[in-house]
Amino acid sequence: MSDAVTIPALDYVFHPRSIAIAGVSAKEGPGFGGGGFVSSLQEVGFRGPIFLIHPSAPAIRGLRCYPSLLDIPDEVDYCISSVPARFVPELLEACITKGVKVLHLFTAGFTETGDAERAKMEQAVVARAREAGIRLIGPNCMGLYVPNGRLAMMGGQPAEAGPVGMISQSGMNAGEFVRYALPRGIRCSKVISFGNGADLKAADFFDYLADDPETEIIAAYLEGIQDGPRLARAIRKAGAVKPTVILKSGRTAEGSRAANSHTASLAGSLQIFDALCRQAGAIRVESVEELVDMAVTFRFVKRVAGPNVCVVGGGGGASVLAADDLGAAGLKLPPILPEAAAKLAKVTQEAGTSIRNPIDTMSMWQPGGFEGTLRPVLESENVDMVLYHTSFGMGPGARFGNERDRSRDNALALGKLQAEFGKPIVVAIRPATTVEGFAYSEEFQEFCWRNGLATYPSIARAGASLARLVRWQESRIPG
Amino acid sequence: MSDAVTIPALDYVFHPRSIAIAGVSAKEGPGFGGGGFVSSLQEVGFRGPIFLIHPSAPAIRGLRCYPSLLDIPDEVDYCISSVPARFVPELLEACITKGVKVLHLFTAGFTETGDAERAKMEQAVVARAREAGIRLIGPNCMGLYVPNGRLAMMGGQPAEAGPVGMISQSGMNAGEFVRYALPRGIRCSKVISFGNGADLKAADFFDYLADDPETEIIAAYLEGIQDGPRLARAIRKAGAVKPTVILKSGRTAEGSRAANSHTASLAGSLQIFDALCRQAGAIRVESVEELVDMAVTFRFVKRVAGPNVCVVGGGGGASVLAADDLGAAGLKLPPILPEAAAKLAKVTQEAGTSIRNPIDTMSMWQPGGFEGTLRPVLESENVDMVLYHTSFGMGPGARFGNERDRSRDNALALGKLQAEFGKPIVVAIRPATTVEGFAYSEEFQEFCWRNGLATYPSIARAGASLARLVRWQESRIPG
């Protein structure tokens, strides 16, 4: 982790004291666009004033409207543009006159349209902004989610901050990252959706997050490579000081074409990008889900002594497939040592169970059986980590006593044992298929992460993540 | 599909008129084991009498108990053994005397323990049963789920039957298959958990399901290869007449060892099994999730004219990753034809949208926009199928009007358009992360399958399944 305590130069971008929004409809509900930003900022509790720009409405959603940015009596640090592209140059001029520091262009319809005139307009806007010293986020993006700055780009984004910084060329993938990560205990320092990256680019944000004292883990979704050498430097800088995980789209011809249509990105060669990541000590993944999985892994597992995992949970078939999934990922399932097996034999029923590895035993659902099964495993020298798997709303577990109490007790025990033995315990929770099962799963998941445990929605995804962690650690051992 | 209307020889196994259960505890709740079978059979509405065998209790859960099988005054077709392994020989003798036709050994602790004495006991039980003409299911298995016969192996298994037959060497994987498949509209003809397969083996069940007029699609989970040549014949027979999908564990050393520990299975070479599947026209998959995905694909998509898919849904980043996922799976995303693009341009807003392929457009959330977006796509000659993606509880969709009404209307429209154009429309529903979002997702999913639509929990899984369907169809074209 970085020891930097200096405030990075771009920090002011993430901490505006006041915001103006241009392009909020007086009619529409709290939908997409301008109105969406109003409701997101109100929901997350933005601490400064929000000024709306509207040609005629006196107020919208309780917020005072002004005919133009220049009519606002107070200072404006940050302006969000939700007006059509053709009005952006005029809005930019007003920002310059007003002394706005950052213009976030939610507005799309620039280079990504493939239209030469519109590409030219984007270039002109960037040139004018640079000349005037205004930084642009976008165009064609959702902007910022900064819990400590009380900025949010979408509803449901909490004010609670955490150590994960995220850079995304897609607002949707930024939103999905936050949404998937939240119930698994991931909280964010800064999330940045930067779209076409006309002014501020991925490299700027990697640089910033590498220096940001609030950020310990960096995740990114990239569609294109802008200014390759500078991006490479920034990724190397980030990868050297913090776990850095990158999802790069455009791994197929289909995806490259779509990326170009989305953010005007030229995807570039995946082989070259892959080599860059390896050099930089960054991990490349292939889906938003894997990006979240690695954030969870770095946040809660942090590090592991080796590739040897012991699988514990009920269900023979699940155990066999777990062994396949973990083996295929590159992890090892060492046979349980004789002394551990002897202890397990004492708490394990005979029928339908296995006390090798995976350990498939009904004893875990009996009083004292949960810790009684896990302790001998964690004591074993040949076990570096434990994967516990379960599900809710079906199976034998659903029938044994009070499922909710047991799940809380189990999460507490897992957290306690992880701390006591200093070995990671991760939890795979198979998907629920009923509303009740889902509610139980979510509750158990929260008990888990609040007790310091990494959770995954499948054994395969846990295995892939842990294997990536092991390989990443190996790659960082100085040769 | 098979034209067979003769009743397969093994059919009596699946339609017992009365059941006896040995090994139900008088104390325990409706947990695992004997008591679990009682509650599952009661829940699914077994139509005949259920007799319990208990040394002293007069009745358990309202059911009359008898000290021994031989004390039961009526005929017993089917006996479930939940007694410890050492009591099984005695129970088998009672079954022979009583004229029981099928003995299901939930009882474990035989060959899979790795103990030579216990393997010998299993062999002796099989020999004695064969001599007496009793068929054995198991040992070490959950037995049968037969909706039309009102048999269930676990709670939550409905009495409603459907066209999917499933064979599983693991009770848990059989249960997970049913559980995952249910909310996606899959109903089953017969589900068979057969464990060690000491008497009745996978080959018997493939043979049976190939002939079974109630079964149109066959799914299987296998751990080992018993009597290879016979199994190969049975899979070829099944694959020739019905879509057949097989999950074979033991693809790694770790998985092979676990399979041996679970059901005494020798996993065999995956290469050889893979070749067998290809020859037989069966599809090999690598997870229970993929097994369910293919059942959904064969049940609802059935067939598709070619590999050309058009992706429709909101979200630029999701669209780009969709293109990558589908391209990587081997599908094609043809550019939208000019005439379709012209029609789409009329219903599409400018900002933040793309009317190429993937189609990322907010117009779908406007009145008339849903069908207005899909029709030009479905009319296009270069589109063989449409993938629509969405999610609930987040994103712009969550804010536009009444989400529940819209989702029902959308599912109706998708089903209507699929029928009208004769092109498959499949639906990817990204996972919910809140209880409310989950409830909405489940409801939308049910609207979808009741309107004949295949649903998948991710674009990647939809793509992998559709690509498998395309390749399977190609492999079946007579050369």
- Render A4-59 in DSSP notation, one character per residue: --SPPGGGGGG--S-EEEE---SSS-S-STHHHHHHHHHHHT--S-EEEE-SS-SE
**pLDDT value of residue A406:** 80
A44/B contact by beta carbon, under 8 A: no
B283-285/B63-66 β-pairing: unpaired
Q: Which of B82, B172, B270 to mutate to test the interface with A (most CBs of A within 10 A)?
A: B172
User: Å from A303 to nearest chain B CA?
Assistant: 23
Of B156, B323, B350, the CB nearest to A109: B350
Q: Where are the alpha helices (DSSP H) in A348-402?
A: 369-379
Please name the residues in contact with A113: beta carbons below 8 A apart, sequence gap of 6 or more.
Answer: none
Closest CA to A182 of A194, A166, A170, A193: A166
B457/A431 CB distance under 8 A: yes
Measured CA to CA in angstroms, residue A285 lies from A254, A263, A270, B337 at distances of: 18, 20, 12, 33
Q: Which of B27, B177, B262 to mutate to test the interface with A (most CBs of A within 10 A)?
A: B262
d(CA B451, CA B408): 10
- A73-89: per-residue pLDDT in tens? 999 999 999 999 999 99
Is B153:B193 a contact under the CB 8 Å cutoff?
yes
Q: Sheet harboring A59-60: ordered strands across?
A: A59-60, A63-66, A50-53, A19-22, A78-81, A102-105, A135-137
In SS3 terms, chain B reads as CCCCCCCCHHHHHHCCCCEEEECCCCCCCCCCCHHHHHHHHHHHCCCCCEEEECCCCCEECCEEEECCHHHCCCCCCEEEECCCHHHHHHHHHHHHHHCCCEEEECCCCCHHHCCHHHHHHHHHHHHHHHHHCCEEECCCCCEEEEHHHCECCCCCCCCCEEEEEEEECCHHHHHHHHHHHHHHCCCEEEEEECCCCCCCCHHHHHHHHHHCCCCCEEEEEECCCCCHHHHHHHHHHHHHHCCEEEEECCCCHHHHHHHHHHHCCCCCCHHHHHHHHHHHCCEEECCHHHHHHHHHHHHHHCCCCCCEEEEEECCHHHHHHHHHHHHHHCCECCCCCHHHHHHHHHHCCCCCCEECCCEECHHHHCCCHHHHHHHHHHHCCCCCEEEEEECCCCCHHHHCCCHHHHHHHHHHHHHHHHHHHCCCEEEEECCCCCHHHHHHHHHHHHHHHHCCCEEECCHHHHHHHHHHHHHHHHHHCCC
Architecture of domain A309-476: 3-Layer(aba) Sandwich (3.40)
- CB count within 10 Å of CB B29 equals 12
B63-66/B59-60 β-pairing: antiparallel
B173/A contact by beta carbon, under 8 A: yes
Of A288, A323, A324, the CB nearest to B321: A288
User: Å from B56 to nearest chain A CA?
Assistant: 23
Largest CA-CA distance found in chain A, in angstroms, rounded? 80
Is A191:A178 a contact under the CB 8 Å cutoff?
yes
Chain A residue closest in CA terms to B32:
A396
DSSP A336: P
| Helix or strand holding residue A384 (H, E) | none
Closest CA to A106 of A157, A151, A61, A171: A171
Of B259, B319, B351, the CB nearest to A262: B319
* Residue numbers of A between 355 and 374 with CB closer than 8 Å to B: 356, 358, 360, 362
* Residue numbers of A between 426 and 445 with CB closer than 8 Å to B: 430-435, 438-439, 442
Question: CA A474 from chain center: how many Å?
Answer: 24
Q: Which of A261, A336, A443 to mutate to test the interface with B (most CBs of B within 10 A)?
A: A261
B172/A316 CB distance under 8 A: yes
A381/B contact by beta carbon, under 8 A: no
Q: ipTM strictly over 0.85? A: yes
- What's the pTM value of the predicted model, to 2 decimals? 0.94
pLDDT tens string, chain A, 479 residues long: the values are 444 456 778 999 999 999 999 999 877 555 667 889 999 999 999 999 999 999 999 999 889 999 999 999 999 999 999 999 999 999 999 999 999 999 999 999 999 888 899 999 999 999 999 999 999 999 999 999 999 999 999 999 999 999 999 999 999 999 999 999 999 999 999 999 999 999 999 999 999 999 999 999 999 999 988 899 999 999 999 999 999 999 999 988 888 888 888 888 777 788 899 999 999 999 999 999 999 999 999 999 999 999 999 999 988 899 999 999 999 999 999 998 989 888 888 876 654 456 689 988 777 777 788 999 999 999 999 999 999 999 887 644 454 456 777 888 999 999 999 999 999 999 999 999 998 889 999 999 999 999 999 999 999 999 999 999 999 999 986 64
**pLDDT value of residue A92:** 98
**pLDDT value of residue A341:** 86
Burial A62-81 (b: 16+ CB within 10 A, else e): ebebbebbeebeeebbbbbb
Is A306:A467 a contact under the CB 8 Å cutoff?
no
d(CA A169, CA B464): 26
A354/B contact by beta carbon, under 8 A: yes
Chain A residue closest in CA terms to B33:
A396
**Residues on chain B touching A262 (C-beta within 8 angstroms):** 316-317, 319-320, 354, 360
Q: Which of B320, B359, B365, B459 to mutate to test the interface with A (most CBs of A within 10 A)?
A: B320
Closest CA to A141 of A245, A47, A33, A68: A33
Chain B residue closest in CA terms to A173:
B317
Is B11:B41 a contact under the CB 8 Å cutoff?
no
* Residue numbers of A between 289 and 318 with CB closer than 8 Å to B: 289, 314-318
B107/A288 CB distance under 8 A: no
Residue A15 corresponds to which tokens in the numbers above? Answer: 């901490």
Please name the residues in contact with B27: beta carbons below 8 A apart, sequence gap of 6 or more.
Answer: none
**Residues on chain B touching A289 (C-beta within 8 angstroms):** 458
Chain A residue closest in CA terms to B360:
A262
A258/B431 CB distance under 8 A: no
Of B112, B333, B435, the CB nearest to A435: B435
Is A80:A37 a contact under the CB 8 Å cutoff?
yes
d(CA B83, CA B60): 16
**pLDDT value of residue A29:** 56
d(CA B252, CA A317): 15
Residue B161 corresponds to which tokens in the numbers above? Answer: 């039957």
Burial B332-349 (b: 16+ CB within 10 A, else e): bbbebbeebbebbeebbb
- Burial (CB count <10 Å: 0-12, 13-18, 19+), residue A6: exposed
d(CA A111, CA A125): 12
Backbone angles phi, psi at B390, to 5 degrees: -160, 175
How big, in percent rounded to 5, are the helix, strand and coil portions of chain A? 45, 15, 35
Measured CA to CA in angstroms, residue B405 lies from A117, B420, B440, B443 at distances of: 41, 22, 10, 11
Of B183, B325, B433, the CB nearest to A433: B183
**pLDDT value of residue B2:** 46
pLDDT tens string, chain B, 479 residues long: the values are 444 456 778 999 999 999 999 999 877 555 667 889 999 999 999 999 999 999 999 999 889 999 999 999 999 999 999 999 999 999 999 999 999 999 999 999 999 888 899 999 999 999 999 999 999 999 999 999 999 999 999 999 999 999 999 999 999 999 999 999 999 999 999 999 999 999 999 999 999 999 999 999 999 999 988 899 999 999 999 999 999 999 999 988 888 888 888 888 777 788 899 999 999 999 999 999 999 999 999 999 999 999 999 999 988 899 999 999 999 999 999 998 989 888 888 876 654 456 689 988 777 777 788 999 999 999 999 999 999 999 887 644 454 456 777 888 999 999 999 999 999 999 999 999 998 889 999 999 999 999 999 999 999 999 999 999 999 999 986 64
d(CA A159, CA A175): 15
A152/B contact by beta carbon, under 8 A: no
Architecture of domain A9-137: 3-Layer(aba) Sandwich (3.40)
**pLDDT value of residue B160:** 98
**Residues on chain A touching B357 (C-beta within 8 angstroms):** 258
Tell me which amino acid residue B423 is. Answer: K
Q: Is the peptide bond before A139 cis (omega within 30 degrees of 0)?
A: yes
Tell me which amino acid residue B250 is. Answer: G
**Residues on chain B touching A401 (C-beta within 8 angstroms):** 29
**Residues on chain A touching B84 (C-beta within 8 angstroms):** 350-351
| Helix or strand holding residue A475 (H, E) | helix A459-476
Q: Where are the domains of chain A?
A: 9-137, 143-301, 309-476
**Residues on chain B touching A327 (C-beta within 8 angstroms):** 251-255
DSSP bridge partners of A164 = A188, A217
Closest CA to B304 of B477, B470, B76, B149: B470
Chain B residue closest in CA terms to A30:
B399
CA atoms within 13 A on the CB side of A335: 9
In SS3 terms, B41-76 reads as HHHHCCCCCEEEECCCCCEECCEEEECCHHHCCCCC
B257/A433 CB distance under 8 A: no
d(CA B147, CA B47): 11
Chain B residue closest in CA terms to A184:
B433
User: Å from A473 to nearest chain B CA?
Assistant: 23
CATH class of B143-301: alpha beta
A390/B contact by beta carbon, under 8 A: no
A412-418: long-range pairs with CB below 8 Å, 24+: A412/A447, A412/A451, A413/A370, A413/A371, A413/A374, A414/A374, A414/A388, A414/A448, A414/A451, A414/A453, A415/A448, A415/A451, A415/A452, A415/A453, A416/A451, A417/A371, A417/A374, A417/A375, A417/A378, A418/A451, A418/A452, A418/A453
B324/A contact by beta carbon, under 8 A: yes
A320/B259 CB distance under 8 A: yes
Of B320, B352, B395, the CB nearest to A140: B352
**Residues on chain B touching A176 (C-beta within 8 angstroms):** 317-318, 394, 430
Q: Do domains A143-301 and A309-476 have the same CATH topology?
A: yes
A67/B contact by beta carbon, under 8 A: no
A68/B contact by beta carbon, under 8 A: no
Chain B residue closest in CA terms to A114:
B354
User: Å from B146 to nearest chain A CA?
Assistant: 18
- CB count within 10 Å of CB A17 equals 16
Q: Which of B81, B266, B321, B459 to mutate to test the interface with A (most CBs of A within 10 A)?
A: B321
Residue B334 corresponds to which tokens in the numbers above? Answer: 């043809």
A262/B333 CB distance under 8 A: no
User: Å from A273 to nearest chain B CA?
Assistant: 16
**pLDDT value of residue A31:** 61
d(CA B418, CA A36): 33
d(CA B414, CA B313): 13
A96/B contact by beta carbon, under 8 A: no
